[in-house]
A and B are shown apart, each in its own frame.
Chain A
Amino acid sequence: MHEWALVDSVVKAAEAVARESSLKTVGEIVLVLGELQSIDRQAVDTIFAELKARAAEPVRNARLVVESEPTVFKCRACGKTFAEKDCAALDPVEKEAVHFLPEAARVYIKCPACKSPDFKLEKGRGIYVREIRGEQ
Chain B
Amino acid sequence: MNLDPRLYAVEERFCGVKRVIAVSGWKGGVGKSVVSCVLALQLAAKGRKTGLLDLDFTGASDHLVLGAEPAFPKETDGVEPHLLAHGLKFMSSAFFLGGKAVPMRGGEVVDALRELIAITRWGELDYLIVDMPPGIGDATLEFSRLVRKTEFLAVVTPSVLSASLAAKTVALFEEWGITLAGVVENLAPQDGGASSLAPALARVAYDPALESALGSPEALLKTAFAKDLSAAADRLV
Contact = CB atoms under 8 A, between A and B. Distances in A.
A116 to B, nearest CB: 9
B75 interface: yes
Contacts of A10: 5
A90 to B, nearest CB: 11
Interface in B85-134: 93, 95-98, 100-105, 108, 111-112, 115-116, 118-121
A72 B153 CA distance: 40
Contacts, number: 113
B191 interface: no
Interface string A90-123: 0001101110111110111000000001100100
Given A103-B104, A126-B115, A12 B9 contact: yes
Given A13-B3, A103-B57, A130-B2, A6 B102 contact: no
B9 A106 contact: no
B79 A107 contact: no
B190 interface: no
B104 A106 contact: yes
A13 B10 CA distance: 11
17 contacts: A5-B79, A6-B6, A9-B118, A10-B5, A13-B3, A101-B93, A101-B115, A101-B116, A103-B111, A103-B115, A106-B102, A107-B101, A117-B103, A118-B103, A126-B111, A128-B4, A131-B1
